[in-house]
Every structure is written in structure tokens, then in C-alpha cells.
């Protein structure tokens, strides 16, 4: 790394983070390891250039190469998902969602999204977010019976609340989402339908999760989760809404695009078209299913009864442990998870009764079912020895050795 011997403070912190990522088990469902090609594109001279506008219609001179890069990113995004129009400029998934709202809603309009306490996202109408402050946000939840989406119930809420926009998509929901049904509900109440596939984009691209394309008016995603690219967002729509979406992203809610990130998105989208990527996505799901089974065999309760995708929620109540206690002890043991509310949780979001486990990052390292079982046994052991500092330190050392068998960044950097 070039900072060595120059900005020593930042260099040292970057080195430590590299070490943490390489020698920890990352089970945070929204995280992944971008490879050297994505990192190279994201850390290059393209960061220097202003390119407000869109390819061939910029407000600055010197954009020829950037026009080509952005056009390639757009074409790859459209091809990968089978979309008519793609805007690759959103800086994040939140910006992508905000752009859709900005394009079709007025302040005070009603939006219907999944309750954040049941797995939805902040920008789907949660009170502290712009989506809950500027719009009249109402929500649907999972059913108390099986912790799954109940489409009759969603229709009933939609009929009562008459939203102008219905949002499907989640940050912590492990079952398939029926986008076709969502569109039928939207049509019945005269609403727009937006699918936020940030978490499952890689699975959708690989054909392993039902696609929202052909059903949703708008599809938004991030590029850094299962898609394994740089941090960022994309909005898709049909030609009919292309102009509205483009003007909502720029100049509506953003200024200059991050062209280095757009180049890295193009690289990741190219990778996502390969057979290797498809196999990777298959293994993500196989690992998540097997991991959920192992956790259930160890006496944990799996929310919604299992998983169809890359993640699942573990209810820790049977073990008398809170999500926060689990997160803290597991982090000290080199295992990164996040505390998560479970549906109908009686605890606060800062404490929670559950944790969320995801397999995209460990699968990138080449881990398979056998390793998932070993990880589950380690998690169980840590949670049985919650306050035992030396147990956590021993586990930390074991995790470090375990990770050495699946090198990722240590193949590229001297760590």
C-alpha cells in the first residue's frame, strides 16, 4: 500500500482493517470482499474527474473516456438483469431509493413498505429516515403464524391505505419474495411498485431468486452485497420512466457522479456475467441453507423456519442470550455478525433477541458446507461461554488459523 511511511496513522489503520477482514469470519449478510480488479478501478485517477450530466451530455470538458466507461456500465447493468434502462450514478442504495421517490412522489404521499422491525430497510418508510419524514409511511409485516410475507394481508393494508408507491425488498428476510404478487397488489390499488433487491441482486442476476424485472416499475439495488462490487447503487426502470429517473438522480438529488465507483461497478457487472459467478451464488445459498440447519440442530430457532437466500435470522431466546451480547462476544472471538430484531421482538433495536447471519463473504473465500458446520459449532461454543475472556481469545486464535486456510487479500497484499 502506497501510504506506507507517509501518512503513517491512516496507513496503520488500513493495515489493521485489512488484517481484520482477512483473519475474521465475516457473517454480516450485507458485506463481501471486492476483488483486486474492483479495488483497482475504485482506487484510480477517475476519482479526479467531474462529469455532471450523462454520457455525451456533460457540463464539463474532458469527459470522453468517462462517457465510454459509464455507457459500458449502463449496458452491462441492462444486460445482466434484462432491464430497459439503468442509471448507474446513485452513490448508494439509499440514494437509489430516494431517486425513485423524488421521481414519482410528492411530499406527503403515502408509501407502503416492509416494517423495519420485520426485516425492511430504513429507506422503506422508517420514521428516522427521509422516507418516513417526508412521506406518509405505512407498513406491512410478516405473519405471526409463520414469520413469512402474507400477500392477502399486504393487499388488505394496501386497500386500506391507498399508497402511491409500494416497496418490496428487505434487509433481513430469508424467504423468496413474490414480486409478481406485489405488482398485482400495486395494480389493484393504482400504485407504483418498486423492488429493492440490494441484498439479493447477485442471486437475481444468477437466476436463483425470482426476478422483479417485468413486474416492478422500478428496481433498485446496491452493488456491494451479493453482487460483490464497489459500494454504490443502481436504479432500473422501463424507457417510460427513464427521463424522470435520470433527472431525479442528477440534478435532483446528486451532483457529480463518482466515476471511479462507476468504473468499478462496470467491472463487477462484467464478473457477474460469468459462469463462475453463478456457481458462487449457488454456493452462497447452499452454505446459508446448511448453516441454518446446523444452527437449528444446535438448538437455535431459525426465524421463518429456514432460508431461500443468502441469510437467515437466529432467535437466541432459547439460549437466553441477547443479540447484543452475542454480537459483542462473537466479535471478540473473530466472528462478525450483527444483532437484529426478530419479528415481534420484545427487546429494543439496541439489544434485540436475534442475530443475522449471511454467507456471501465466507463463500467468496471458498468456504463450503463443511466449514459452515465448523463455524456454527464455534458460534455455539462462544455463546455458551459468554463472559469467559480467555475462551474468546482462544477462539480468536482458532479463527485466525482457520481463515489462513482460505486466503483472500493475503494473496494480493503483504499482511
Q: Where do contacts with ligand DSN occur on this chain (CB under 6 A)?
A: 30, 93, 121, 171, 198
What is the 8-class DSSP label of residue 142? Answer: B
Please state, in angstroms and rounded to a whole number, the distance separating the CA atoms of residues 175 and 304: 7
Q: Which of 21, 31, 52, 331 is catalytic?
A: 52
| Residue keyed to cell 480468536 | 396
Mark whether 322 is an active-site residue. no
Q: Which of 22, 196, 315, 345 is catalytic?
A: 196
Q: How far is the CB of 310 from ligand DSN (least distance, A)?
A: 11
DSSP-assigned beta bridge partners for residue 355: 314, 339
Q: How far is the CB of 374 from ligand DSN (least distance, A)?
A: 24
Mark whether 50 is an active-site residue. yes
Q: Which of 164, 225, 228, 289 is catalytic?
A: 225
CB 227 within 8 A of CB 8: no
Burial class (CB in 10 A: 0-12, 13-18, 19+), 22: buried
Residue 69 vs 258, nearer CB to ligand DSN? 258
Residue 129 vs 322, nearer CB to ligand DSN? 129
Residue 352 vs 395, nearer CB to ligand DSN? 352
* Complete DSSP assignment for 281-336: HHHHHHHHHHHHHHHHHTTPEEGGGS-SSSEEEEE-GGGT--HHHHHHHHHHTTEE
Burial class (CB in 10 A: 0-12, 13-18, 19+), 21: middle
Mark whether 52 is an active-site residue. yes
The three-class DSSP label of residue 203 is helix
Q: How far is the CB of 171 from ligand DSN (least distance, A)?
A: 4
What is the 8-class DSSP label of residue 248? Answer: I
Which helix (H) or strand (E) segment holds residue 140: the answer is strand 136-140
Mark whether 265 is an active-site residue. no
CB 197 within 8 A of CB 50: no
Q: How far is the CB of 232 from ligand DSN (least distance, A)?
A: 12
Q: Which of 15, 231, 347, 365 is catalytic?
A: 231
Residue-level length of the chain: 415
Residue 157 vs 201, nearer CB to ligand DSN? 201
Mark whether 180 is an active-site residue. no
- DSSP-H helix ranges across 82-224: 93-104, 130-133, 151-161, 179-189, 201-205
Helices 259-271 + 64-81 axis angle, to 10 = 40
| Residue keyed to cell 407498513 | 139
Q: Which of 110, 123, 221, 222 is catalytic?
A: 222
The cell numbers describing 369, all together, are: 458446507
Mark whether 196 is an active-site residue. yes
Q: How far is the CB of 74 from ligand DSN (least distance, A)?
A: 23
Residue 171 vs 307, nearer CB to ligand DSN? 171
Closest C-alpha among 368, 366, 316 to residue 338: 316
* Number of helices (H), then strands (E), in the chain: 15, 15
Please state, in angstroms and rounded to a whole number, the distance separating the CA atoms of residues 147 and 39: 38
Q: How far is the CB of 199 from ligand DSN (least distance, A)?
A: 6
Residue 173 vs 193, nearer CB to ligand DSN? 173
Residue 30 vs 95, nearer CB to ligand DSN? 30
Q: How far is the CB of 24 from ligand DSN (least distance, A)?
A: 16
Residue 58 vs 199, nearer CB to ligand DSN? 199
Please state, in angstroms and rounded to a whole number, the distance separating the CA atoms of residues 260 and 288: 32
Active site residues: 50, 52, 196, 222, 225, 231
Amino acid at each position: 500500500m502506497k501510504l506506507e511511511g507517509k501518512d503513517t496513522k491512516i496507513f496503520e489503520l488500513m493495515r489493521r482493517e485489512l488484517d481484520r477482514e482477512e483473519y475474521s469470519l465475516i457473517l454480516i449478510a450485507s458485506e463481501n470482499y471486492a476483488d483486486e480488479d474492483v479495488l483497482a478501478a475504485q482506487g484510480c485517477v477517475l476519482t479526479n474527474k467531474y462529469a455532471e450530466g450523462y454520457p455525451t451530455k456533460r457540463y464539463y470538458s474532458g469527459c470522453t473516456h468517462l462517457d465510454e466507461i459509464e455507457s459500458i456500465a449502463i449496458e452491462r447493468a441492462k444486460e445482466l438483469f434484462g432491464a430497459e434502462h439503468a442509471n448507474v450514478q446513485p452513490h448508494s442504495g439509499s440514494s437509489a431509493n430516494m431517486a425513485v421517490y423524488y421521481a414519482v412522489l410528492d411530499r406527503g404521499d403515502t408509501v407502503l413498505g416492509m416494517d423495519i422491525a420485520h426485516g425492511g430497510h430504513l429507506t422503506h418508510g422508517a420514521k428516522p429516515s427521509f422516507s418516513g419524514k417526508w412521506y406518509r409511511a405505512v407498513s406491512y409485516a410478516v405473519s405471526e403464524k409463520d414469520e413469512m410475507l402474507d400477500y392477502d394481508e399486504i393487499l388488505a393494508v394496501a386497500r386500506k391505505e391507498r399508497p402511491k408507491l409500494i416497496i418490496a425488498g428487505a434487509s433481513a428476510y430469508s424467504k423468496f419474495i413474490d414480486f409478481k404478487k406485489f405488482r398485482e397488489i400495486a395494480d389493484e390499488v393504482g400504485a407504483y411498485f418498486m423492488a429493492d433487491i440490494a441484498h439479493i441482486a447477485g442471486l437475481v442476476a444468477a437466476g436463483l431468486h425470482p426476478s422483479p424485472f417485468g413486474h416492478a416499475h422500478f428496481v433498485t439495488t446496491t452493488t456491494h452485497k451479493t453482487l460483490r462490487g464497489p459500494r454504490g447503487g443502481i436504479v432500473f426502470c422501463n424507457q417510460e420512466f427513464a427521463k424522470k429517473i435520470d433527472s431525479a438522480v442528477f440534478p435532483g438529488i446528486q451532483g457529480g457522479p463518482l466515476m471511479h465507483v462507476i468504473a468499478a461497478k462496470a467491472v463487477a457487472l462484467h464478473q457477474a456475467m460469468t459462469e463462475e459467478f453463478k456457481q458462487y451464488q449457488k454456493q452462497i445459498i447452499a452454505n446459508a441453507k446448511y448453516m441454518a440447519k446446523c444452527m437449528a440442530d444446535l438448538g437455535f430457532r431459525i426465524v421463518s423456519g429456514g432460508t431461500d437466500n443468502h441469510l437467515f435470522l437466529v432467535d437466541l431466546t432459547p439460549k437466553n442470550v441477547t443479540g447484543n451480547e452475542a454480537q459483542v462476544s462473537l466479535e471478540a472471538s473473530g466472528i462478525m455478525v450483527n444483532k437484529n430484531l426478530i419479528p415481534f421482538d420484545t427487546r429494543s433495536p439496541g439489544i434485540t433477541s436475534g442475530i443475522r447471519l449471511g454467507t456471501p463473504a465466507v463463500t467468496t473465500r471458498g468456504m463450503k458446507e463443511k466449514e459452515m458446520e465448523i463455524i456454527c459449532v464455534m458460534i455455539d461454543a462462544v455463546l455458551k461461554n459468554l463472559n469467559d475472556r480467555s475462551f474468546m481469545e482462544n477462539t480468536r486464535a482458532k479463527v485466525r488459523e482457520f481463515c489462513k486456510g482460505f486466503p483472500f487479500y493475503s494473496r494480493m497484499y503483504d499482511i
